[in-house]
Structure 1
């Protein structure tokens, strides 16, 4: 099956430029010129990647990203003309997988797109596809769903990958560097603080859902490990 990409940008010249560069590697590329159109297309079509500009005429890219993340797990590469770290952290918090700052080199665009798609496929292939069961918590790799008792929990792709990675090896302590190497692609924007942000989000979402314990325990000075007993409340 061919990889399918959605390019979202209100400028025809930019969409065309991106398509020209991506078409050397990918042949199935759709376009959307505004946020509402993008959301409708994602609802109808299973894409392998969405390349999303932040500045759109109707609703901005952040809103589009947050809306898509409520129901879809596809990788999202955001385009921005700003290099402010606060924007990147905000984007990560709402579900973006990577950032590319304009103007960008065509080779970097293709490399990041390829890396995001490849990473997702590798994670799906390499990780055990059985369902992991813990006290009141289940993690299903096949459907990429997390349940607390009977309640589904919406996690972003990276949040799910981090939780599943750590849960698969509950006795292992994962440093932030190891998590980056396992989940982030070579060409993705890397920030050790992003790991802490994602872990914080996972804890908050599972906590709000009624899980009585914190499944990701901080090993001070080292990193994180899985903890599956209600006795730990830290």
Structure 2
């Protein structure tokens, strides 16, 4: 499979040296350029040096853990982050996604499954080109600028991850439509994505926190019971 230069670089971070080597080997055979790191500080340095398109990131690392790696890399990188979690660590999954991971895979996993998830994530559609000077979308004190990919609330900029912005961009593009999890997954994660559909809920939760929104009394994003999510248009 051929890859463009922009999405061939992958960083694999796991303190289990043998596992990291196996995953790196599978990805290399698929034509990716793979760098490996085994602890938190080395992982952050490797993201700065290699500028990967995607980071496969284990939660439990020496130095500092994967959550801290994710927090730090989100200050300078928009690489996709595929987090590796142990079975049953539901809270860690939620925290991981809330600090900027895009998706997770539960250990133990087969390397072929992981490679398939990596490929699916890198095929995710990016927001298409927006006409220069396109309209800024306003919902009360929330402003979404699709062309600049910026968000402001009460006049103040809000820093969103790439996935959080993509979810908000989609919802704001269809303000009078309630979108199901499946529709959001298809448009943001892409038709090739497979995994836990509740990943949408976690990202919406993180989005709301950053916007200062309240699910019980929403100003911007409302839950449509039995369906999914929609913008508040009143």
Partner of 2:166: helix, strand, or coil? helix
Aligned residues of 1:137 and 1:148 also touching (Cα < 8 A): yes
Q: Number of aligned pairs? A: 221
Aligned to 2:126: 123
The Cα of 1:41 is off from its aligned counterpart by 2.7
Aligned residues of 1:98 and 1:188 also touching (Cα < 8 A): no
The answer on 1:59 being equivalent to 2:64 is yes
What CA distance in whole angstroms lies between the structure 1 residues aligned with 2:149 and 2:127?
9
Aligned to 1:80: 85
Partner of 2:11: helix, strand, or coil? strand
The equivalences for 1:17-166 within 5 A come to: 17-119=22-124, 122-125=125-128, 128=130, 130=134, 132-134=136-138, 135-141=140-146, 143-148=148-153, 150-166=155-171
Aligned residues of 2:13 and 2:38 also touching (Cα < 8 A): yes
Q: Which one of 183, 191, 196 corresponds to residue 190 of structure 1?
A: 196
What CA distance in whole angstroms lies between the structure 2 residues aligned with 1:26 and 1:142?
32
Give the superposed CA RMSD. 2.6
The Cα of 1:76 is off from its aligned counterpart by 0.6
Q: Unaligned stretches of 5+ in structure 1?
A: none
Aligned residues of 2:137 and 2:172 also touching (Cα < 8 A): no
Q: Unaligned stretches of 5+ in structure 2?
A: none
The Cα of 1:150 is off from its aligned counterpart by 4.7
The Cα of 1:149 is off from its aligned counterpart by 5.2
Aligned residues of 2:100 and 2:161 also touching (Cα < 8 A): yes
The equivalences for 1:162-173 within 5 A come to: 162-173=167-178
What CA distance in whole angstroms lies between the structure 2 residues aligned with 1:136 and 1:159?
18
Aligned residues of 1:131 and 1:139 also touching (Cα < 8 A): no
What CA distance in whole angstroms lies between the structure 1 residues aligned with 2:16 and 2:80?
22
Deviation by residue 1:140-169 (Cα, 9 ceiling, x = unmatched): 445543233553212233221110101111
